[in-house]
Amino acid sequence: MPNFRIYYVARRPHGMRIDSEYTRSLEEPRGLLRHGEMNWEEDVEAKNLREALRAFFEEHLERLSDLAYVDEDGRTQRPRRIDDFDPNRTYVWTEDDKLMEFQGIEALEGGLVPCPLCGGSGEVTPDVAAEFEEIEAEGEEEYYR
């Protein structure tokens, strides 16, 4: 069965009390909220992109009503059905005290290779590894000129 990698971001507003409404940030001189972000990726085995998204959201949501997507006008809309997922939409939901945002999905072609950027502690697709190695080689050529 094909594998898919889903990318998403977790945001936790700084200066926000978890049990109340937003408050002004003490760290920011103008009192604006600053957001801490953490990027995540998760691999899902599924028949196709939509099925991978359905499986991902079933694991991350308590109920479908916790999920929304951002439409062309920048407004949030609720998916009508659990199988109404479009990989080109921006989905948002809450998980614990964080705002989550779907960043994208990609099909993983064949096997993964060690990540050249992180010294092999992670894995990437062969295309991503080749692209990084090309960029690194160009940088070395510039350095030695």
- Average pLDDT, consecutive stretches of 10 residues, N- to C-terminus, the chain (145 residues): 87 55 40 62 89 92 88 88 82 87 86 70 75 80 67
Q: Measured between alpha carbons, how far is 142 from 107 in angstroms, rounded to an integer?
A: 34
Q: Are 46 and 96 in a shared domain?
A: yes
Give the per-residue SS3 of 85-108.
Answer: CCCCCEEEEEECCEEEEEEEEEEE
Residues 37, 56: one domain?
yes
Assess whether 51 and 80 both reside in one domain.
yes
How many distinct structural domains can be found in the chain? 2
In order of 10, 30, 81, 137, the CA distances from 23 in angstroms are 19, 12, 35, 48
pLDDT at 22: 39
Verify that 47 and 116 share a domain, yes or no.
no
pTM: 0.61
In three-state secondary structure terms, 21 is coil
* Together in a domain, 14 and 50: yes
| Residues 96 and 26 reside in one and the same domain | yes
Do 28 and 74 have their domain in common? yes
What range defines the domain where residue 99 resides?
3-108
Half-sphere exposure of residue 144, counting CA atoms within 13 Å on the CB side?
A: 6
The 10 Å CB-count burial string (b at 16+, else e) for 14-29 is ebbeeeeeeeebeeee
Q: What is the dihedral of CA 92, 75, 104, 134, to 10 degrees?
A: -130
